[in-house]
Chain A
Amino acid sequence: MLSEDKILTFLKLEQLALDIEDSTKLLEQFLPIVLEELNLSGYPYVFLSSLFIDDEGKIKQTFFTDKVNKQTFREVTKAENLFQNETLFQKGSEWEMKVMYGEAAVVSDVAYFINPSYPNFSQIRSLLLLPIQHARRLSGILILASAKAADTVNAEEIEFGEMITRLVNLSFRLQDTEGSLTKITKQVYEMNAKLHQLDKLKDDFVSIASHELRTPMAAIRSYAWMALHKSDVPLSDKVERYLVRVLMSTERLINLVNDMLNISRIEGGKIEINPESVDILSLAKDVVDEAYNSRGVEKNIHFSILEERLPKVLADPEKLREVMLNILGNAVKFTAEGGSIAVSFFTDGKVVEVSVKDTGPGISKEDLGKLFTKFGRLDNSYTALSTSGGTGLGLYISKSLIELMHGKIWASSEGVGKGATFTFALPIATKEILERVDQFRIRSKGEAKGLEPAAI
């Protein structure tokens, strides 16, 4: 049984170990106090040292504190001079067996352990070796070098030593955890810096690659156009058809590069949203004109806009135009010759909804969800896309842009063969919203980049 003063000393030390704030130096600060308290409790220990070993019994880390200067040295190299052996538990001696099985051992063969050059060597008459256990395995030894002979060590001293050992182990684990956390934080930080660098490289690559890709594509486009329109010999139907297809495929390729560039900008946070009050009706009319003139005319598509008085919406006009162009462009692509496209509006006082309804092939229920994903084109739409310059990225871009503007976009269809309706909703530019317009503004991370021209 421990006497009351020993228990008090133990509790005091325990509190101390928990109170030390800089956990990375916990043992360095804690061990001198332990040695001092032990001396005060009537145990004249010359030094206290804790050795932590690996699975082979090799000493990994040592802590040492000395009665004289009460300093803790944590360098393994410093302790190498103190201890005679770098590896313990090789000989199978009695003390080794005891310690291995978790029992304390007292040895008087001081010279086997301690280098005689240690200045206080002559004061040491015995060593108390206490096993440090962690997860039911031996992880080290606490060595107390006593000025008393081995036969004077009693059960109480050993019991007290064992309790102190537990505290030392606890402190070591705390310190270890803290150390690993610091290391992990550092690694995460470094990794993050590396990722930023890679992101920058990717951005540079994307813009340079797209420029490099567009140069030969511009040449193909230009020469094919000239061959088709400015040939100095009459073209056969066959050659003309070939050239039309070269031109269409090139345009499709250019659109694809532009869309990929736009996605990389949107996903990289390089797009700015500058919201303002927008007259959506006049913007819609402009875009309808553009869509009609580009391809609507040749397909003889009938356009209608249901004009009505509408409140202004809060949006970035350039991005909104991009979305309108995409949705109307899709409607034109998928509507057969002689079909019709109707643009209509709806408002509930909070948002304005813009709907574009076409008489195209329609979309099955299960396909509606795929529409707004990257390359989320539908099986039955491949034919239409290959002849119309579609990229499979337009709706994904539109959805991203609408969401950046605090809006929503969705599609509906009554089924295959019944046409489709694409609708997006944007907040009304009320006085209250315009007062806090800054909350709707999005600044670009790094250099701002606009969008590449949309394809119709």
Chain B
Amino acid sequence: MNNKILIVEDDQFLREFYQELFMSEGYLVDVAVDGEVGLRKLLEGGYDLILLDIMLPKKDGLQLLRDLKVQPPKTANGPVVVLTNLGQDAVIKQCFELGAVGYLIKSALNPDQVLQEVKSYLK
């Protein structure tokens, strides 16, 4: 069965880019444009991996992770990998404390590297 990925990303170009990238690799991809939609989809659950941005409209990524801790999803989700451009230590630390398993800086990676990282978290 194909892995199902949720991309929570507000920037349209990047969102569509990652969507296309993962679909071309055979993944099933769902997207969310802000933190609220992201949380709603995550509470339904059933994703094998979540790529989460931090600076998001309506609800930022950190708050989404916090909400997720108190509200269990209907169907369990796979790991959350943060995919952002924020590089502050404090943010990175908080993400891991809130349960993220990875932290990727968008501008530092080429698409093949993003794919590689995601594959490593899906194993």
A216 to B106, CA, bound (A): 10
Contact B14 A218 (CB under 8 A): yes
Known: A211-B55, A226-B17. A221 touches B85 (CB 8 A): no
A442 in contact (CB, < 8 A): no
- Chain B residue at minimal CB-CB distance from A230: B24
Contact of A225 with B by CB under 8 A: yes
A221 to B85, CA, bound (A): 13
Question: How close is B3's CB to chain A, nearest CB, in angstroms?
Answer: 20
Please give, as numbers and ranges, the residues of chain B lying within 8 Å of A219 by CB-CB distance: 11, 13-14, 17
Within A13-30, which residues are at the interface with B (CB < 8 Å)?
none
Contact B108 A453 (CB under 8 A): yes
Residues of B within 8 A of A205 (CB): none
Bound together, the chains give a CA A348 to CA B105 distance in angstroms of: 41
Are A448 and B90 in touch, CB under 8 angstroms? Answer: yes
Which residue from A210, A223, A448, A450 sits with its C-beta under 8 Å from B17?
Answer: A223
Q: Which of the listed residues B24, B92, B107, B110 has the most CB atoms from chain A within 10 Å of its own CB?
A: B107
Cβ-Cβ contact count across A and B, 8 Å cutoff: 66
The answer to whether A226 touches B21 (Cβ under 8 A) is yes
Whether A261 and B87, one on each chain, are in contact in the complex, defined by CB atoms closer than 8 angstroms, is yes
> How many Å from the CB of A451 to the closest CB on chain B?
8
The answer to whether A254 and B112 touch (CB under 8 A), given A211-B55, A211-B86, A214-B85, is no
What does the 1/0 interface line of B63-80 toward A look like (CB < 8 Å)? 000000000000000000
B111 at the interface (CB under 8 A from A): yes
With both chains docked as a complex, state the minimum distance between the C-beta of A322 and any C-beta of chain B, in angstroms. Answer: 13
Binding site of B, secondary structure by majority: helix, strand, loop or mixed?
helix
If over half of A's interface residues share one DSSP class (helix, strand or loop), that class is named, otherwise mixed; here it is helix
Given contacts A217-B107, A254-B107, A453-B105, contact A222 B89 (CB under 8 A): no
- In the complex, A229 Cα to B112 Cα: how many Å? 10
Which residues of chain B are near A230, meaning CB under 8 Å? 24, 111
A293 at the B interface (CB under 8 A): no
Across the two chains, which residue of chain B brings its CB closest to A452? B87
A207 within 8 A of B: yes
Let me know if B2 is at the binding interface, CB within 8 A: no
Is B88 at the interface (CB under 8 A from chain A)? Answer: yes
* Interface flag for A231 (CB, 8 Å): no
Bound: A226/B106 CA distance, A: 15
Within 8 A of A (CB), among B86-122: 86-90, 92, 105-108, 110-112
CB A132 to nearest CB in B, in angstroms, measures 62
CA gap between A447 and B11 in the complex, in Å: 28
Q: Within B42-64, which residues are at the interface with A (CB < 8 Å)?
A: 55
In the bound complex, residues from chain B placing their C-beta under 8 Å from that of A443 are none
Contacts of B86 in A (CB 8 A): 207, 211
Measured between C-beta atoms, what is the minimum distance from B22 to chain A in Å? 12
Which residue, B55, B85, B90, B112, has most C-beta atoms of chain A within 10 A? B85
Please, what's the 1-or-0 string for B1-13, where 1 marks a CB less than 8 Å from any CB in chain A? Answer: 0000000000101
A69 on the B face (CB < 8 A) = no
> Can you name 4 extra interface pairs (CB under 8 A) apart from A210-B85, A214-B105?
A210-B87, A214-B107, A215-B106, A254-B108
Tell me the B residues contacting A by CB distance below 8 Å: 11, 13-14, 17, 21, 24, 55, 85-90, 92, 105-108, 110-112
Closest 9 CB pairs of A and B: A218-B106, A214-B85, A214-B107, A218-B107, A450-B89, A219-B13, A254-B107, A453-B108, A211-B85
